[in-house]
Structure 1
């Protein structure tokens, strides 16, 4: 048996676990503490010390803090681009409201009897306004705009922090016995409205915060699996596994703040899924507490043929059927070599054709993403200040690409790559990728561009907070689509957004996209929409109208309503047509069996009719 990696004693294993070769419990020092608002923004994305800041004395932007590569560097190109594209008046910022005082929050809707029963559980809880507020939302535009400039109609009445699986069992039983609602809360990064409180719900709403369930319960080195509590945050999981020279390989854009349980509940995907798989490929075993009991399999095996796979009932359930408490996932040894790369193409269509060929040959690197021309230009304006020599080198590169190779700055696009594996395998993979790129008119653009493009993924979410200060709405949405419809879908959606922006009187807007994932049968497309709402009375409502039209167009063009963000409340209008009425009835039958009293009344996917 492998030696323990922590002095903390593990819980007594089940009979099926006793024969496994396992390391003992790892207690994790979480990057997202119980009092989230002490470290994270209460009204925006990410860390308090990390943000884009406009400096009116220099008319430039810098990114604060040292957590990211662009930290404390000047971004001299950003504000000129913003001015040209959105006609922003920088002298009139729209500042966010301050943290509401304690006496301004709605009174908790909880009887003294129910509060006493919650207290008797022995689980940490709070009815403080700020604790309830920061768990009343995810990261949709509606959520953040409301936090900054308005108030939520309904927030949780009490927050509970269970410390383990058994705490959740007690809590769910108490809620079911006393007709209280439970909304599971993980990392708070949902962009589907999944954790928002239903406005018509009059029962006591409990926000079940899983952040204190963040231990790695064991690591099985022989079978390459690890069992973790569901509240562990992605970056914490990866940090602790790396100490043991392992990786999960699951790296969604939100992995700094999103939780393992949330990944399962939303059927998440990561940037390196080509090597490590999506969450459904990583999942080996899961425990979910429901009002009818605990749903789980009886053993840990790579595959079972024993009827429908109930793991797939848990995955994508979005908190509507129960609480995910423990997850066993596959892990892999750390790759010995990691190298970035990039290829520049004369146009978007050439890049998509290249990606299609790469998928046909099944030779995708760990990550392969294609930015359209708009995304490419936006990435360039986020480049920090550089030296004279750096400017000279950039000018020479531009001269070579545009004058020698004949690429048009207004149509060219860039593919970013990440290779992982053994040194020789990576070299062979690089050679093959660049050879395929050459077939479609591409040329290598260097490791630096590839690394910058990859790392900007974690920074780009911060820019929405700055945009809102200057009356610019910014949001993204994604879809999956068959290969033969990918280019036309992108074109149709862009045209649809442009048409409806103009019809709504919006003169200054941006709509661009990138292809972020590839499969045998299709790809994933992210769209980025922004517009100036200086002349718009209700920008959130207008954005909802435009995005709804865009999603209608996505569906009409052969795309899905979501690839990995889930359905939640934001996209449930398309859910019945996606799965058929029989599918809806099957989901509701499952809901009725597992949660007959609708304790998990999230109203995600469809509204339960019980």
Structure 2
């Protein structure tokens, strides 16, 4: 492809020699992320989303340069951080360039009075959290991928974390960032601390998966490390009462930083030796000592009214020690014929339990274990996280199972008028349902895309956008 050769020649004149990569093994590596389907593709030697070239950048100026050249030559650009996406966001649908942003790193800049920190977009989440902890601060943003994801990736995928019931998702924690548009234009968006001058333009890019612009630096809120933390585990008689208890406590204005409710199948994993054959609910409260104690008493009283029985703090403390461990899924995927999937969706309180029940029914024949938990809670509804673990005869059959799992799960969620993604984004996994999920709102998204990226340079094929140039 002559455009690719021209691009390689131009960029090698302007960037470091090792910044432009076209070796076959490198291109193979960049055609996969952490999506279980992509993992099985790799095991089978399949590379259906292979780039033509990989370009590594280490500054916003280099990002702008690459985008200018790509737009000029009509080549697609797919941004990539650390490749920890579990739905295929950084996998190209039209070849072209994979733009590796993982070297966009540098020292954080702390704004102590404003309680914010500014970092380049390629900074690893765990590195930033450790830096803040040394100063008595924390992000209070803890995705399971904290040690394998970047702050820029959090913006692109509209990420959320394990303490979201109190602190919200990344959309609530980011105050400003810089984005580079498809033609190389650099935009800084943010509010100080709120504004009424037009819409909040940050929200235009949060969750856009690199289809509208590429984030190069981010300013986030930071918090004092909590003075006191109290945690407790409970058994609950059934799913209905557990979900009702969560709804009542959150609608009463109580805001535990940790709130996770496991069905009986997943409770066996969550509780280990403490398993009672019942659903389990984990709660945690932190902050000012007196306020923390009062909230803990209020939440406990409400849970007991719904039949909850305390198991003490130990199960939650054990979970906190292993909460970033993804090895169960990875070890199963590494076995011949092994497969695993994690699908997070959401719905209103009035629809979440019926959707949960149908998901369990529809997915049960496709895996050895189908586990479910509710872990991000809002006044109007909750997320639902479904984990599937299975063993097929071989990897080809495993791939077939994973594809059917996605089809059935998305059809159930759409049927219940739920959200097909709560915090992992759409990527390739949810691409067939993107327009159906967004409904008439997709027309607006398409018009924004056409205005900001008329050649469909940026991550085409994601969010139902740019499938054809």
Task: State the TM-score, normalizing by the size of structure 2.
Answer: 0.93
Query: Paired residue for 1:165?
Result: 60
Q: What aligned pairs does 1:111-122 form with structure 2 within 5 A after superposition?
A: 111-122=4-15
* 1:602 equivalenced with 2:460 (yes/no): yes
Give secondary structure in 2 for the equivalent of 1:492.
Answer: helix
Match of 1:544 among 399, 403, 406: 403
Name which of 353, 368, 375 aligns with 1:509: 368
Partners of 2:287 and 2:236 in 1: how far apart? Answer: 26
Is the partner of 1:335 in helix, strand or coil? coil
Residue of 11, 26, 49 corresponding to 1:131: 26
Q: Which residue of 2 aligns with 1:530?
A: 389
Partner of 2:412: 553
Q: 1:153 to 1:552 in 2, by over 3 A?
A: closer
Structure-2 residue corresponding to 1:372: 263
Looking at structure 2, the residues matched to 555 and 167 of structure 1 have their Cα atoms a distance apart, in angstroms, of: 41
Selected match of 1:322 from 193, 210, 213 = 213
1:283 aligns with 2:283: no
Aligned to 2:251: 360
1:219 pairs with one of 104, 110, 126: 110
Deviation at 1:575, TM superposition (A): 2.0
Contact 1:416/1:453 (<8 A) preserved: no
Aligned equivalents of 2:253 and 2:128: distance in 1?
Answer: 29
Provide the rounded CA distance (Å) in 2 between the counterparts of 1:434 and 1:299. Answer: 39
Instruction: Provide the secondary structure at the position in 1 that maps to 2:146.
Output: coil
> Residues 112 and 474 (structure 1 numbering): CA distance in 2 closer, same or farther, change over 3 Å?
closer
Q: Distance in 1 between matches of 2:184 and 2:407?
A: 38
Deviation at 1:455, TM superposition (A): 3.7
Render the CA deviation track for 1:429-479: whole Å, top value 9, x for unaligned. 221221111111112211110122334432244434335515332111011
* 1:19-52 residue CA offsets vs partner (Å, 9 max, x unmatched): xxxxxxxxxxxxxxxxxxxxxxxxxxxxxxxxxx
Maintained 8 Å contact 2:178/2:189: no
Matched, 1:465 2:331: yes
Distance 2:74 2:137 in 1: 44
Q: How many Å separate the matches in 1 of 2:187 and 2:175? A: 11
Per-residue displacement from partner, 1:185-214 (whole Å, max 9, x unpaired)? 01211122211121xx36xx2221111112
* Residues 314-341 of structure 1 deviation map (CA, whole Å, 9 limit, x = unaligned): 1111111221111111111221223332
Q: 1:236 maps to which residue?
A: 127
8 Å Cα contact 1:249-1:331 kept in structure 2: yes
Change (3 A) 1:113 1:481: closer
Bigger mean CA offset, 596-605 vs 513-522: 596-605
Greater mean alpha carbon deviation, residues 250-259 or residues 123-132: 123-132
Counterpart for residue 310 of structure 2: 444
The change in CA–CA distance for 1:307 and 1:346 in structure 2 (over 3 A counts) is same
Partner of 2:343: 477
More helix by share: 2
**2:283 corresponds to which residue?**
417
Q: Say what the alpha-carbon RMSD is for the aligned residues.
A: 2.3
Aligned to 2:352: 486
Residues 492 and 557 of structure 1 are in contact (CA less than 8 Å); yes or no, is this contact kept in structure 2?
no
Moved more, 598-607 or 532-541: 532-541
Query: Any stretches of 5+ residues in structure 2 without a counterpart?
Result: none
Q: Does 1:575 align with 2:434?
A: yes
Would the aligned equivalents of 2:230 and 2:296 in 1 still touch at CA under 8 Å? Answer: no
Q: Report the TM-score, using the length of structure 1 for normalisation.
A: 0.72
- Of the candidates 64, 71, 89, which is equivalent to residue 176 of structure 1? 71
Alignment match, 1:102: none
- Give 1:14's aligned residue: none
Unaligned runs of 5+ in 1: 1-107, 384-393, 399-408
